[in-house]
């Protein structure tokens, strides 16, 4: 007989573009000793594959087929981190069949032995509604645009602040307005409004929320045994 599986402590970090959720998720994972998955990369990869193949982003069948072929090396391609890839991702992410094709991979990752941290738009609502720790990270569009502009500038992308703000507003509207798994806070998510916070302060606040959730979860796990 193998060792009994350790229960999965799943941390769901959702929120809009450039809210800080990626940095928060990475730090939480390091502190908890858990693996982390940036689920946005999956949608970015599908968008980039479609674009490279010259296929229409509205072609749901082709996008779902692309989603079924993702490979680990594509996920580390720096092309996925560009401004253009964010827009491509949000356009393919509206398709229910694309979301379905990516669902099992995300759930399996989340439910691995010991648990995991996932960041995205629908982790707490659709992928892992059972997650014992859920955060919904927000900030005003203006502050998020400033953060994203600095990030893109550091990556060597020259774009105006106004254009980044327009991207963010467009993506917020599309991600929040779609029928399939729209971006929204789960009813049991802790809201973390980071407009006035540094990333250090936001990460500290997230850690406190997750520590409290972990204590509650461990008590429930003990009761179940």
Binding site for ligand CDP (CB under 6 A): 17-18, 22, 39-40, 43-44, 86, 89-90, 93, 120-122, 171, 175
Query: Among candidates 94, 118, 92, 112, which has minimal Cα distance to 37?
Result: 118
Q: Which residue, 101 or 122, has its beta carbon nearer to ligand CDP?
A: 122
Q: How far is the CB of 11 from ligand CDP (least distance, A)?
A: 14
Q: How far is the CB of 200 from ligand CDP (least distance, A)?
A: 19
Q: How far is the CB of 141 from ligand CDP (least distance, A)?
A: 12
Q: Which residue, 5 or 173, has its beta carbon nearer to ligand CDP?
A: 173
Plot region of 15 (φ>0 → left; ψ -120 to 50 → alpha; else → beta): left
For the chain, the C-alpha Rg in angstroms (whole number) is: 18
Query: Looking at beta carbons, which residue is closest to ligand CDP?
Result: 40
Q: Which residue, 7 or 161, has its beta carbon nearer to ligand CDP?
A: 161
Q: How far is the CB of 44 from ligand CDP (least distance, A)?
A: 5
Q: Which residue, 99 or 213, has its beta carbon nearer to ligand CDP?
A: 99
Q: How far is the CB of 146 from ligand CDP (least distance, A)?
A: 14
Q: Which residue, 3 or 67, has its beta carbon nearer to ligand CDP?
A: 67
Q: How many helices (H) and strands (E) does the chain have?
A: 9, 5
β partners of residue 119 = 13, 38
Distance from C-alpha of 117 to C-alpha of 34, rounded to nearest angstrom:
7
β partners of residue 190 = 135
The dihedral built from the CA positions of residue 89, 91, 93 and 98, taken in this order, carries a sign that is negative
């Amino acid at each position: 007989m193998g060792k009994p599986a350790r229960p999965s402590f799943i941390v769901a970090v959702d929120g809009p573009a450039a809210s800080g959720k990626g940095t928060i998720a990475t730090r939480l994972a390091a502190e908890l000793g858990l693996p982390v998955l940036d689920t946005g990369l999956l949608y970015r990869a599908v968008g980039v594959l479609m674009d490279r193949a010259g296929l229409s982003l509205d072609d749901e069948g082709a996008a779902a087929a692309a989603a079924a072929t993702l490979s680990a090396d594509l996920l580390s391609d720096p092309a996925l981190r560009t401004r253009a890839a964010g827009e491509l991702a949000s356009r393919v992410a509206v398709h229910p069949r694309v979301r379905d094709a990516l669902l099992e991979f995300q759930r399996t990752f989340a439910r691995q032995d010991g648990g995991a941290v996932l960041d995205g738009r629908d982790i707490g609502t659709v992928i892992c509604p059972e997650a014992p720790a859920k955060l919904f990270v927000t900030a005003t569009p203006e502050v998020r645009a400033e953060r994203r502009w600095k990030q893109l500038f550091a990556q060597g992308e020259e774009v105006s602040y106004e254009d980044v703000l327009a991207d963010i507003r467009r993506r917020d509207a599309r991600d929040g307005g779609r029928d399939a798994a729209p971006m929204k806070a789960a009813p049991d998510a802790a809201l973390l409004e980071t407009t006035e916070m540094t990333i250090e302060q936001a990460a500290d606040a997230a850690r406190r929320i997750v520590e409290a959730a972990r204590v509650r979860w461990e008590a429930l796990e003990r009761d179940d045994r």
